[in-house]
Amino acid sequence: MDAGAYANDIEQVLLSREEIQGRVAELGARITADYEGLDLLLIGVLKGAFVLMADLSRHIGLPLEFDFMAVSSYGAATQTSGVVRILKDLDHEIAGKHVLLVEDIVDSGLTLSYLLKNLRTRRPASLEVCALMQKNDVQQVPLDIKYRAFDIPPVFVVGYGLDFGERFRNLPFVGTLRPEVYRDAVT
């Protein structure tokens, strides 16, 4: 485990650096094959997906464009509120483009469902989702996630772009926090 200054905060590593990098390379190869001959636009959902999007893009052997959206459905909580606000919209039009929405984690699916509906109104040529993780047994809306690296248990995780209080995003793995980290954050 390469947790550095956060070593005392991590309870368990769920996905190692090696596991993540291996699956991201596999997804990149699959995306390359699926979109061969097409221009692809990656849309990263900020802030959490920026690490995945950077690594994934280096494994896609196609011409790529990049754009980002920032949404909020968590605030400072560890569970989604279900209310989605767009904090930063796309910089470019997506009509007629092949779009791959890159997401860090899917849990309830409410935020992703909202984003997909919003993006479909902009008439992309195609719209698919690539997610690093999906939590088991917590999805509240039906979603088709074409590219998913991992299924994980319904626990709060940090690392590889995911945060708690804007910390832990730079960890090269995905793990859970020790309970005292939560207690210390609310006291």
The pLDDT confidence band at residue 79, using thresholds 50, 70 and 90, is low
Mean pLDDT of 89-114: 94
Give all domains of the chain, ordered by start, each with its CATH number: 17-154 (3.40.50.2020)
Residue 28 has pLDDT above 60, yes or no: yes
39, 55, 107, 184: the catalytic one is 107
Residue 187 has pLDDT above 60, yes or no: no
Does residue 34 carry a catalytic annotation?
no
- Give residue 82's pLDDT: 61
Residue 24 has pLDDT above 60, yes or no: yes
Instruction: List the structure tokens of 6.
Output: 């956060």
Mean pLDDT of 84-104: 94
Mean pLDDT of 81-91: 83
Mean pLDDT of 24-42: 97
Residue 4 has pLDDT above 90, yes or no: no
Residue 86 has pLDDT above 70, yes or no: yes
- Give residue 74's pLDDT: 56
- Give residue 73's pLDDT: 72
Residue 80 has pLDDT above 90, yes or no: no
Instruction: Between 75 and 96, name the one with better pLDDT.
Output: 96
Average pLDDT, the chain: 91
